[in-house]
Amino acid sequence: MSRFVDTSVMVRYLTGVPAEGAEQAARIIDQEKDLQVTDVALAETAFVLASVYHFPRDAIVDHLISFVRKANISLFGLRKDVVIHALLMCRPSGRVSFGDALIWAVARSSGSGVIYSFDGRFPSESLTVLREKK
């Protein structure tokens, strides 16, 4: 039976703060055999690492990719390779937000390949982004 990990566990695991919570998070993440993570938990974790802990964007990308690559971590409804690619899109300039990158990953993982967005910066790689309804 797989279990889900929420943002609070991921943040404690990735930051090491507070020490007691980080130890508990490490026991869960390093010892459970099958853990599930949602796109929402990934986006929230990126937000908390940036806004509360002031991690630089490239460090957030690196931490989340390392986390996602763990053998016991599965991404609910998402392909790991697509999520890793999405996270890498966040690194270069900050042009792509973590939220948009993960929405992109959901659209790609679903097989749809088409998304509506009024955001001119929404990533269009391997997707058809429809800007307006005709």
Q: What is the pTM of this model?
A: 0.92
The SS3 of residue 96 is coil
Q: What is the pLDDT of residues 93-129, one digit of tens each?
A: 778 999 999 999 999 999 888 999 999 889 999 999 9
The answer to whether residues 5 and 65 touch, using CB atoms and an 8 Å cutoff, is no
Residue-range domain boundaries for the chain: 3-93
HSE (CB half, 13 Å, CA atoms) of 62? 6
The SS3 of residue 36 is strand
Q: What's the rounded Cα separation, in Å, for the pair 77 and 81?
A: 12
CA quadruple 78, 82, 38, 12: dihedral sign: positive
Q: What is the pLDDT of residues 48-75, one digit of tens each?
A: 999 999 999 999 999 999 999 999 999 9
